[in-house]
Structure 1
Amino acid sequence: MSMSRSSRDRARGAGRAAPPRPAAVPAPPSGTAGPGVLPLLGAVGGGAALALESVVNGRLGEHAGSVAAAVWSNTLSLLVAAAAALFLPGTGAAFSALRAGLRSRSLRAWHCLGGVAGGSMVLTQALTAAALGPAAYTLALVAGQTLCAVAVDHLGLGPGGRRPATPRRLAGGLLAVCAVAFPVLAAPDAGRALALAVLPFLAGCALSWQMAVNGRVDEASGRHPYPAVLLSFAAGTALTVAALAVLALTAGLPRPGAGPAWHFTGGLLGCVVVLTAVLTVRRIGVLAAGLGMISGQVLGSLLLGPLLGRPPAHQGVVAFGAVLLIGASALAAPSGAGARPDSAVPGAVAGARRGGAGEGGGI
């Protein structure tokens, strides 16, 4: 008697192995922080470190010359990043994945030049931070960062893909400009303060671009932070050394004066800032990491002025500008943005991981 079709299908299926079921992701224990809380706190801490770095480099620029201070800060950061290669596992595989991404053109060479923006920011710290004060300098920096983040997202330069510039986000960017205009125009010498604030505003624009391209380099390196950090400081050091060479040819080298040891620690804080940005963007996305760093910058700058004996002349106006700025950042943030899953890693990087590139490569 012939076997029915359904019986034959069951007989064939009996010899086949059932596909493995995906493992269930365990829920976090009740009462513990979610997976994004610690990275978000790290981003806030990184923003506070950036506010402190601006104070340190500004003080160094007062007695060593602004360009020389920027060269020292970037060079120290580069030396620390290079020394870290002796202790971090997986750096060779990460650079192999990065080269594969460049060959496949999933990553372009200009993505590796984010440190040019970092070098320009350190130059503006040394030039203007001491004169403007921590609060006004940080507000100008973050206003440029918030406004230009809208353009960076609209062009899709970061690892999160393209996010159109909606009217809500444009309103947030314009509100950021208003947030810095209030304390700057309320300064005793408003004309000079406004002229000085242009430089950190432009540096903030460059900082948005740097965060985006460093995120692309981190992604192409198999989620290993070292290539993005090292390339960032290498490009920044090259820019500041070139500026020092031009200064030496035109006006001669400055003669640095003596200063306290903490004035020379800006490069160490720069390492903290860049590494924090790379790691937090990877875990919680550009949006949450950017908002966390902005909040840390603003809050840190408001605390640093009184602690260092240089409170802003109109502290209430500065605090109001800080509130406006955090609101502007929330408006400029794209809705529904988040960290990209590992499945979005380019094919070249995924292939390098399969060959062992990703083993031990993260921090």
Structure 2
Amino acid sequence: MPLSRTPRRWIPETDPAPRTRPRGDPEHASRATRSAALPLAGAVAGGVALALESVVNGRLGEHAGSVAAATWSNMLSLSVVVGAAVFLTALRPAFAGLRTALQSGALRPRHCLGGVAGGSMILTQALTAATLGPASYTLALVSGQTLCGVLVDHLGLGPGAPHPATRRRLAGGLLSVCAVALPVLAAPDAGRTLALAALPFLAGAALSWQMAVNGRVDEAAGRHPYPAVLLSFATGSALMLAAAAALAVLGRLSAPRSGPPWHYTGGLLGCVVVLSAVLAVRRIGVLAAGLGMVGGQVLGSLVLGPLTGQPPPHLWAVVIGAVLLIVAAVMAAPSAPARSAPGPLPPLLTVHPPADALDEGGK
């Protein structure tokens, strides 16, 4: 006998997942602002520390020699990082993940050499910072970092997906070059200043590559920053020790003269810079942290110049260059990643077939 069919019943199901607050909710926005304020302030403080580090290493390079100053700064940073291992946890799994990534080929040995770029930056601090002054040195460093950062993001050298070099980003990178060219060309000895500014510009470009490869190492170590920081200072110290040994063999390693104790604190400031960058990126992302550090570097260099007796010869040119550099950094920064499309919501309505229909195949 034919089976009778009953209409399908629509039974609403309850959604067990609680609904989140809408993004436009005032309380949600206020909480997000408060949570981002502290790490953003830390990024700005890290930028100020980087500007102060250039002053300290520059003064040390004047009476200890550039290679000796860079070697001391790197070795002091390495000593602090090695000593910090006593107070840290989960180091063994982090290094095990790093070793596994190297063995599988997911991480290349060149990714562990980011400290070479860091050592070159400290060397340029000792060579040129005292002559250029805090403002011009910082503008040249950040300019190279901004322009090369566009290329690094475009090639996808760091962790995550590549960020294409759009017209806006390329214009921001070129604007950063104009920002440093203005105060350099306005200097009394423009030719010599331009030649000196090329060194921190190249060091800033290398710094962008260092940040990218350190991000790869951090990712391979399970998002534990210690292996990347340790490798950075270890390779930088090895490079500087090799350079100092070569100069010593040739008899050209200058003996350090006496100087105030604060001239030897550059390595401590380097640790502050790295730590503030890691903590800020973890909380507010690379874009906001990078812009915060750029702002801190520029503002710190403008304040430190008069305080250290090295005011820029043309303050108006430096101020305009600083404003242009901040605008260039905003333009060259990658756009916020597109938010992933929301997944399907749990079904609010479910179709339940009639019981006799389930038995139809067996009759």
Distance 1:227 1:3 in 2: 70
Counterpart amino acid of residue 296 in structure 1: G
Once the two structures are superposed, residues 86-119 of structure 1 have per-residue CA deviations (whole angstroms, 9 ceiling, x without a partner) of 0011111211122222223222221111111100
* Mapping of residues 300-315 of structure 1, within 5 Å: 300-315=300-315
* Mapping of residues 37-186 of structure 1, within 5 Å: 37-186=37-186
Change beyond 3 A, Cα 1:104–1:175: same
CA contact 2:58–2:125 (8 Å) conserved in 1: yes
Question: Which stretch of the first structure deviates more once superposed, 25-34 or 129-138?
Answer: 25-34
Distance 2:190 2:315 in 1: 15
CA contact 1:223–1:282 (8 Å) conserved in 2: no
Aligned residue in 2 for 1:252: 252
Deviation at 1:249, TM superposition (A): 2.5
Change beyond 3 A, Cα 1:4–1:59: farther
Distance 2:187 2:235 in 1: 35
Deviation at 1:291, TM superposition (A): 1.3
Counterpart amino acid of residue 198 in structure 2: V
Deviation at 1:292, TM superposition (A): 1.3
Aligned residue in 2 for 1:225: 225
Distance 1:279 1:102 in 2: 25
Deviation at 1:35, TM superposition (A): 3.2
Change beyond 3 A, Cα 1:216–1:311: same
Question: 5+ residue gaps in structure 1?
Answer: 11-17, 341-363
Change beyond 3 A, Cα 1:100–1:192: same
Distance 1:269 1:5 in 2: 78
Counterpart amino acid of residue 165 in structure 1: A
Deviation at 1:220, TM superposition (A): 1.6
Distance 1:60 1:102 in 2: 38
Counterpart amino acid of residue 238 in structure 1: A
Q: TM-score, normalised by structure 2?
A: 0.85
Distance 2:339 2:179 in 1: 28
SS at match of 2:35: coil
SS at match of 2:87: coil
Deviation at 1:339, TM superposition (A): 11
Once the two structures are superposed, residues 300-356 of structure 1 have per-residue CA deviations (whole angstroms, 9 ceiling, x without a partner) of 10010011121111111101000010111111112224999xxxxxxxxxxxxxxxx
Change beyond 3 A, Cα 1:75–1:3: farther
Question: Which stretch of the first structure deviates more once superposed, 309-318 or 271-280?
Answer: 271-280
Distance 1:338 1:53 in 2: 36
Distance 2:338 2:241 in 1: 37
Change beyond 3 A, Cα 1:19–1:240: farther
Question: Which stretch of the first structure deviates more once superposed, 69-78 or 19-28?
Answer: 19-28
* Mapping of residues 14-29 of structure 1, within 5 Å: 21=17
* Mapping of residues 276-291 of structure 1, within 5 Å: 276-291=276-291
- When the two chains are superposed, the root-mean-square deviation of aligned CA atoms in Å is 2.7
SS at match of 1:35: helix
Question: 5+ residue gaps in structure 2?
Answer: 341-363
CA contact 2:21–2:28 (8 Å) conserved in 1: no
Once the two structures are superposed, residues 34-87 of structure 1 have per-residue CA deviations (whole angstroms, 9 ceiling, x without a partner) of 433322221111111100000000000001111000000000000000000000
Deviation at 1:124, TM superposition (A): 0.2
Aligned residue in 2 for 1:320: 320
CA contact 2:46–2:272 (8 Å) conserved in 1: yes
SS at match of 1:202: helix
- Percentage identity across paired residues of the two chains: 69
Distance 2:91 2:21 in 1: 29
Aligned residue in 2 for 1:346: none
Distance 1:299 1:269 in 2: 17
SS at match of 1:311: coil
CA contact 1:218–1:278 (8 Å) conserved in 2: no
Aligned residue in 1 for 2:242: 242
Distance 2:214 2:28 in 1: 34
Deviation at 1:218, TM superposition (A): 1.4
Aligned length: 334
Distance 2:122 2:21 in 1: 43
Distance 1:243 1:20 in 2: 64
Question: Which stretch of the first structure deviates more once superposed, 198-207 or 98-107?
Answer: 98-107
Change beyond 3 A, Cα 1:230–1:3: farther
SS at match of 1:187: coil
The higher radius of gyration belongs to 2
1:192 partnered with 2:192: yes
Change beyond 3 A, Cα 1:304–1:99: same
Counterpart amino acid of residue 237 in structure 1: S
Aligned residue in 1 for 2:215: 215
CA contact 1:160–1:339 (8 Å) conserved in 2: no
Q: TM-score, normalised by structure 1?
A: 0.85
Aligned residue in 1 for 2:297: 297
